[in-house]
Structure formats: C-alpha cells, structure tokens
Amino acid sequence: MYREEIKVLDCTIRDGGLINNHYFTDEFVRAVFKGVSDAGIDYIEMGYRSSREFAPPSDFGDWKYCDDEAILRVTDGIESDTKISIMVDAHRMLDQVFKPVDESPVDLVRVATYVKDIDKAIAAVNMCHDLGYETCVNIMAISAENEFELVEALSQVAKSPVSTVCVVDSYGYFFSEQIHHMMELYKKHLPDKRIGMHCHNNQQLAFANTIEGIRYDANLVDGSLYGIGRGAGNCPLELLIGFLKNPKFSIEPILKVIQNYMIPMRQELEWGYMIPYAITGSLNEHPRAAIAVRKTENKDKYVEFYSEIFDHLD
C-alpha cells in the first residue's frame, strides 16, 4: 500500500510509558529517537505533558511531563527529520507550560479526550494552535460511546482549528467492519480534517485495523516498536513499515532497536497479547481489570477472570 499522504507516528515512548510510569532512561529514549529518525518515521511521540499538580514528580519519570529541556537533552546531536509529538489529557489541563512553537522542540500536540470532555479538548487545541503547534484530537474509548453523542463531538471538533482527529480503539474491540464504519463517520463529520488511527492489540487486531483505517483514508497512523504499549499494546511499527511500500522508510534501524532494547525490556516489562486482554477486548470493556489481574498471582486464572468480568456485565 503506497500513498504519499500517509504519515506514521511512533508512540513507543508515550504509550510504552503507561506501563512503567514513564521511567525510561535517556539512553533508551535516545536510541528510539535515533532508530525512528533513521527509519524515516514522520513523528515520534515522547510522552505526556502533564501537570505536576495532578501527577506528582515523586511518582513519575520525565516522560510524564515532556518538558522542552528533557526533549532537547535526548534529541541533542541526533540528525533527524522526525517531528516531535507530545500528548495532553483534555480533562487534566492546569499549569503546564507551552512556549510558542518556534521556541520549543515540539511540533505536534495531541489532545486525548473522552466525548464528555470535548469542550476541554477544543480549548486545549485552541491554546496550542494559537502558539503555532500542529494539533490533533484523540477521542478515546469510542467503541463504548453513544454514537449520537460521538457525532455531536465530531461536529464540534470540525469547527475547531485542529488539523487531525484520530479514530482510537482504546479497548481493542473493533474489527474491520467497525473500523470502516468509524472511518466513514469521521470523514463525514470532519470533512476538512485529516483522519488518524490508533489501535490496541487486545484481540491481535491492531495491525489489521490500522490497515483497514489506511484503506479508508486514514493518513496518520500510529505504531510502536514491537507493539509496546499499555496492556496488549499497539500496532507493531515493524509490521506497519513492512506493509507501507514507501521507499522513504527503512526497516533496519527499527529492527536494530527492537533487538537491542525491546527484547531485553520485554523481560522486565509486560505487554502484548494475553488472555485477560483478549477477554476484556472481546467484551468491549476497558482493560483495567486485565491490567490489574496481571499484577496478581491469579494472572493466569482465565476461567475465574472471565466469570468475574462476565458477571459484572450482567
């Protein structure tokens, strides 16, 4: 699949940081930045810019805040055409500092939001847009939202200056026909916006669904190295690059970071396909119960876990 407009965003550090409270070493972040840059990836998402009021520094690493200084520290000296993205939560905007874009290493601000917080998301978009940043809205958990209200939110976002809106399958619930439906819905209600795609791998459908998004005109697609991300993780970047027949990408730098960093890291941090995530995904539930059970000695008691989740739905 080749289409010049398709841009790829690596969310290794950002979504991976949800597993370890954003405590990645500078060495690792530099290696990812260099690998992703050498591979020709369009964007790299470094983490969140969170308020230290909401998220005390005693509990989180640097990539929870993504201060400009931290970003400059890990990108310094590395040749790169890759744009830098950070994420903010619409409902947790408080005292974060944003300089004008030409004084910051950041290019893109992605605003994560729920449907109910769409006004806050648009306020954040307006603020960042006025400072010169490219902006994007990620409406989360849409598989469990009321579609009437989702459409209302999309219609509001349509009038904002945001350039991109991502279809986000937070629960890893969608399969192809539902991705097609969402793409058509987003295109219809956001006629002037670029549509993006961020998938989760609860049912091993993250890569497949990203492909389906691309088939239906998604032009900003997320992947992460070896699929790292909270719970079942994301669309593996290496698969995405193999699929996109764009000569501007090269896969070797990505394979190098995977073999040198991701494989050893997978011994320490857990992510990827596991039965509890398959269960919450197939039942269209938030993965939080699955994430919790994986930290207990009952982590492989699947029948028990299934009963609990299923009974809770009754």
Task: List contacts with a copy of itself (CB under 8 A).
Answer: 175-177, 201, 203-209, 211-212, 215, 226, 236, 238-239, 242-243, 251-252, 255-256, 258-259, 263, 272-273, 275, 278-279, 282-283, 300-303, 306-307
d(CA 109, CA 292): 30
For a copy of itself, the closer of residues 303 and 313 by Cβ is 303
For a copy of itself, the closer of residues 163 and 176 by Cβ is 176
Strands (E), the chain: 7-10, 43-48, 83-89, 108-113, 134-139, 164-169, 194-199, 220-223
For a copy of itself, the closer of residues 131 and 251 by Cβ is 251
Q: How far is the CB of 75 from a copy of itself (least distance, A)?
A: 23
For a copy of itself, the closer of residues 139 and 239 by Cβ is 239
d(CA 286, CA 274): 15
Q: How far is the CB of 167 from a copy of itself (least distance, A)?
A: 16
Q: How far is the CB of 46 from a copy of itself (least distance, A)?
A: 24
Contact 185, 216 (CB under 8 A): no
For a copy of itself, the closer of residues 120 and 198 by Cβ is 198
For a copy of itself, the closer of residues 53 and 300 by Cβ is 300
Cα pseudo-dihedral 230, 157, 174, 313, rounded to 10? 80
- H-type alpha helices, 20-117: 26-38, 68-75
Q: How far is the CB of 112 from a copy of itself (least distance, A)?
A: 25
For a copy of itself, the closer of residues 18 and 206 by Cβ is 206
Residues in the chain: 314
d(CA 183, CA 276): 28
Q: How far is the CB of 22 from a copy of itself (least distance, A)?
A: 26
Closest CA to 282 of 304, 237, 258, 313: 313
**For residue 205, what are the contacts with CB-CB under 8 A and spacing of at least 6?**
172, 174, 175, 199
Q: How far is the CB of 71 from a copy of itself (least distance, A)?
A: 27
For residue 10, the SS3 value is strand
**Helices 147-158 and 176-189, interaxial angle, to 10°?**
40
For a copy of itself, the closer of residues 88 and 258 by Cβ is 258
- Per-position b or e across 88-121, b if 16+ CB within 10 A of its CB: bbbebbeebebeebeebbbbbbbbbbbbebbebb
d(CA 254, CA 251): 5
Contact 133, 106 (CB under 8 A): yes
Q: How far is the CB of 290 from a copy of itself (least distance, A)?
A: 13
Q: How far is the CB of 151 from a copy of itself (least distance, A)?
A: 25
Q: How far is the CB of 269 from a copy of itself (least distance, A)?
A: 17
For a copy of itself, the closer of residues 38 and 134 by Cβ is 38
d(CA 121, CA 88): 9
